Structure 1
Amino acid sequence: MAPPLRTPIFPDKVALMKATVPAAMITAPGSGQGKSMVTAALARLHRNAGRKVRVFKHGPDYLDPMVLEVASGQPVYQLHPWMTGEDECRWRLVEAAQDADLILVEGSMGLFDGDPSSADLAKLMGIPALPVIDARGMAQTFGAVALGLSKFDSALPIYQVIANRIGSPRHGAMLRESLPEGISLLGAIPRNEAMSLPNRHLGLVQAGELGDLEQRLDSAAGVLAEAGLDGLPLPVTLEAAPPESPPPLLEGVRIAIARDAALSFIYRANLDLLQAMGAKLSFFSPLTDSALPDADALWLPGGYPELHGATLAGNRPMLEAIRNHYSAGKPMLAECGGLMTCVDELADHDGEIHNLLGIIPGRASMAGRLQALGLQSLNAEQGQLRGHTYHHSRLETDWHPLARTRKVAGAEAEPVYCRNGLVASYFHGYFPSAPELVAEIFRGQAIRPLTDKEPDHA
């Protein structure tokens, strides 16, 4: 099915899609409480019970959805009232609810953090929030935290909470007794190695790098079952109008997409949109393949090139193939890690220098701390491409950007370099927000940036 546009135009008499399904927003008071693994374990628990589980992720994120897809066995899409648009949020949930037995939405950061926050999405969708609260070092204060979350916004229903990382059954009983009237304890999860996954500087280790992920998830599901978390949340009724299909702006265009351990940050919705506009997609590995698929355009998405610099640099046939594609003036999009792959030199965390594509003069160097984070947009005459940035490296180059993205607050942010068919930036775009602009990028048409007016961030 074709993905929706960010603000689709609906026919006057279109029939609304409607469905009722158990659903919950898995959230927390803040990051680090364990909500990602709890969401994945819940998905696996109910999947193992024979239910079809659909999981969604609030906001921009590539790594959590990889794990959630393995856990649920179903595709995972982003929901974000600003980045994907409110209409798309509604439609994706209703479409999933047509045959799902359970819908889970994993929040981001703390429940009320960000604008729009996980709480904003829950209210928009009419889904209750289910906070996961790390109970280590906590007793009766657990009830105060739960009460505060439930009272902070009266429009957001919170009926249950989950206690995570408890020390003993008695500890769990104390937590249950501390809860105020109207809030119950869905379950108390003991401290257990099964409830953790390895991390690195951008978040979770990629699902494809964890050879024992299936076993980890089954073990985590078992922990939740023993904690009494095998019940379904309350059902909610969802409704939305179906979207219009995007125009066939990429009919017959062949797009080769890098996808391996080095470059893998790809939204499913982006692939859906390209196909819905008529593009023919193929995939290749910059690490192991020696040639590109036959293609009119090339996409180098984000990822971890800094972890694979020596292998990328050593695959000379692939580097030469990509250089030839660029030299021929064929369209090429390079996002974040893809941008880093395009430079002369990449300096990794250990300071080792790797000679890469040499398309963009200069060096990308890993920094000791986060260099940029947040929602942004690329504003052009062809549309406003919404997305985000999140990187730990910095780029030194004498190329001058054609445009800059803008933060939600309006300030200029990431440079966007455009030359000889290449569009390169640290910015990650959510393609359905601007189908026309995306189509022109992959057809090699020039971006026409808006520089004299502020973007509409409504």
Structure 2
Amino acid sequence: MTVPALLIAAPGSGQGKSMITAALARLHRNAGRRVRVFKHGPDYLDPMVQERASGTPVYQLHPWMTGEAECRWRLAEAAREADLILVEGSMGLFDGDPSSADLAALAGLPVAVVIDARAMAETFGALVGGLARHRDDVRVIGAIANRVGSPGHARMLAGSLPEGVEWLGAVPRDEALHVPDRHLGLVQAGEVADLDARLDAASAVLAEAGLGRLPPPVALHGEAPPAPPRRLHGQRIAVARDAAFAFAYRANLELLEAMGAEVVPFSPLRDATLPPCDALWLPGGYPELYAATLAANDGMRAAIGEHHAAGRPTLAECGGLMYCAESLVDGEGVEHPMLGLLAGRAEMAGRLTGIGLQSLSRPEGELRGHTFHHSRLETALEPTEQTVRRSGSPAEGVYRVGSLTATYFHAYFPSAPEVVAGLLSR
């Protein structure tokens, strides 16, 4: 299938590509086009904003974590229905292994680079030229100058571009293109009360800057993956889904359903008890921001304790692990009682304590994913397994306490469905 498509990248983080991507998606959506947005690499927060901007589901694309075949397939599936495909890159264009550039080369996606042009003149063109020439298999077709100070500044930047790279437009400094952030990235989309108004305003800024043109069409091809085994047929899996536990890939939830499970969302913040279920998944999120509320919900704490005592499986990832500890020390140094399923306490560290792509190998397969956290677990328990970095060095511990599996590792379930079935089955 052929459809206009573009990967939006930058020379590094902090250039504004997330909101430029979101504003472009909203601009074309408001023009009546069906827009599909994807995110390169592991990320939970940016896709929340991109889903609100586009009004369509957002999936991760990462040649290692999700696999090359899945990258091609998801893009080809989107091309069947979309009028435009946008892919938000991660970090700098050539940063990471695999990088955003590797995805662009794999799928044949043209690239537009977003550059924060504050306090920059001729160097803008030199930077664009360097990015455009760095790899022969990556096509940088255009540049967007972000946070531009004036029309004169924009003309200066446009005049600096090397031959063969199109000037796509200058985006002025505007509060509409700002979304607050915190220690793990952007705040969650549901926490920004006026997000839709901001996105509409941001799209108007881009329209004024002349960024409403469609990118060139791209032919996208990919084979659908085989159906996963129905290893979870008939099981009800309760999944924590609220402001404290929102870090769940859409693809993970869809895989559970494709394997035959009934996925039942619940809220550890608001609900008094668990829904009837055979297994429980506590994904990551921000339990440290809601620790007092979680601690005060005695009914839910008791219900999860009973679930565990009955030997029913629980998978706890990152924020879920923190919730399972005996206590959690929040960013203000206040200690709150938690579930007590995992001996020890989780404590906010005030800095990044774990980051990077990792995998968990079991006889059933290699479960791939990543880690990214600002807390640490203080425990005398020895992990029963460990994830490994791509270099092969040990990384995050995996703790087994009865039917509980707890780890800081965020897994991408479709990478190894059989491993996931083993974690969530009796």
TM over 0.5: yes
Which residue is 1:67 aligned to? 49
CA deviation digits over 1:240-284, x for unaligned, max 9?
Answer: 122211111110111000000001100000011000000001010
The one-letter code matched in structure 1 to 2:352 is L
* 1:172 matches 2:154: yes
The secondary structure found in structure 1 opposite 2:140 is: coil
The secondary structure found in structure 2 opposite 1:418 is: strand
CA deviation digits over 1:147-181, x for unaligned, max 9?
Answer: 00000111111111101000001111111111111
The one-letter code matched in structure 1 to 2:96 is G
Q: Please say if residues 71 and 214 of structure 1, whose CA atoms lie closer than 8 Å, have aligned partners that are also in contact.
A: yes
Corresponding residue to 2:372 among 373, 378, 390: 390
Single out whichever of 74-83 and 395-404 deviates more from structure 2: 395-404
Gaps of 5+ in 1: 1-18, 445-458
Corresponding residue to 2:136 among 140, 154, 160: 154
The secondary structure found in structure 2 opposite 1:105 is: strand
* 1:399 matches 2:384: no
Which residue is 2:189 aligned to? 207
Which residue is 1:81 aligned to? 63
CA distance in 2, matches of 1:240, 1:76: 18
Single out whichever of 302-311 and 392-401 deviates more from structure 2: 392-401
Which residue is 1:51 aligned to? 33
Q: Please say if residues 330 and 420 of structure 1, whose CA atoms lie closer than 8 Å, have aligned partners that are also in contact.
A: no
CA distance in 1, matches of 2:64, 2:372: 17
CA deviation digits over 1:48-85, x for unaligned, max 9?
Answer: 00000000000000000000000000000000000000
The one-letter code matched in structure 2 to 1:334 is A
The one-letter code matched in structure 2 to 1:305 is P
CA deviation digits over 1:4-26, x for unaligned, max 9?
Answer: xxxxxxxxxxxxxxx00000000
CA deviation digits over 1:163-211, x for unaligned, max 9?
Answer: 1000001111111111111111111000111111000000000001111
* 1:126 matches 2:140: no
CA distance in 2, matches of 1:261, 1:354: 18
Alignment of 1:259-274 (within 5 A): 259-274=241-256
Which residue is 1:437 aligned to? 419
* 1:306 matches 2:285: no
CA distance in 1, matches of 2:374, 2:286: 11
Which residue is 1:368 aligned to? 350
CA distance in 1, matches of 2:122, 2:395: 45
Corresponding residue to 1:95 among 77, 93, 117: 77
The secondary structure found in structure 2 opposite 1:185 is: strand
Alignment of 1:186-265 (within 5 A): 186-265=168-247
Which residue is 1:15 aligned to? none
Identity of aligned residues (%): 65
Corresponding residue to 2:396 among 397, 410, 414: 414
Q: How many residues align?
A: 426
CA distance in 2, matches of 1:339, 1:243: 31
* 1:24 matches 2:10: no
Which residue is 1:287 aligned to? 269
Q: TM-score, normalised by structure 1?
A: 0.93
Which residue is 1:296 aligned to? 278
The one-letter code matched in structure 2 to 1:303 is G
CA distance in 2, matches of 1:423, 1:280: 20
The one-letter code matched in structure 2 to 1:154 is D
Deviation (angstroms), 1:419: 2.0
Deviation (angstroms), 1:407: 0.3
Q: Please say if residues 342 and 401 of structure 2, whose CA atoms lie closer than 8 Å, have aligned partners that are also in contact.
A: no
CA distance in 2, matches of 1:325, 1:284: 14
CA distance in 2, matches of 1:392, 1:240: 37
Gaps of 5+ in 2: none
CA distance in 1, matches of 2:286, 2:224: 36
Which residue is 2:145 aligned to? 163
* 1:340 matches 2:322: yes
CA distance in 1, matches of 2:245, 2:160: 47
The one-letter code matched in structure 1 to 2:384 is L
CA distance in 1, matches of 2:354, 2:157: 39
The one-letter code matched in structure 2 to 1:234 is P
Which residue is 1:327 aligned to? 309
CA distance in 2, matches of 1:172, 1:430: 42
The one-letter code matched in structure 1 to 2:45 is L
Deviation (angstroms), 1:360: 0.7
The one-letter code matched in structure 1 to 2:247 is F
The one-letter code matched in structure 2 to 1:339 is L
The secondary structure found in structure 2 opposite 1:55 is: strand
CA distance in 2, matches of 1:318, 1:390: 27
The secondary structure found in structure 1 opposite 2:369 is: strand
Deviation (angstroms), 1:378: 0.5
Q: Please say if residues 341 and 401 of structure 2, whose CA atoms lie closer than 8 Å, have aligned partners that are also in contact.
A: no
Moved over 2 A (4+): none
CA distance in 1, matches of 2:348, 2:214: 44
Single out whichever of 59-68 and 416-425 deviates more from structure 2: 416-425
Q: TM-score, normalised by structure 2?
A: 0.99
Q: Please say if residues 341 and 356 of structure 1, whose CA atoms lie closer than 8 Å, have aligned partners that are also in contact.
A: yes
The one-letter code matched in structure 2 to 1:162 is I
Corresponding residue to 1:35 among 17, 22, 26: 17
Q: Please say if residues 127 and 236 of structure 1, whose CA atoms lie closer than 8 Å, have aligned partners that are also in contact.
A: yes
CA distance in 1, matches of 2:165, 2:284: 42
The secondary structure found in structure 1 opposite 2:307 is: helix
CA distance in 2, matches of 1:84, 1:233: 26
Q: Please say if residues 318 and 408 of structure 2, whose CA atoms lie closer than 8 Å, have aligned partners that are also in contact.
A: yes
The secondary structure found in structure 1 opposite 2:114 is: strand
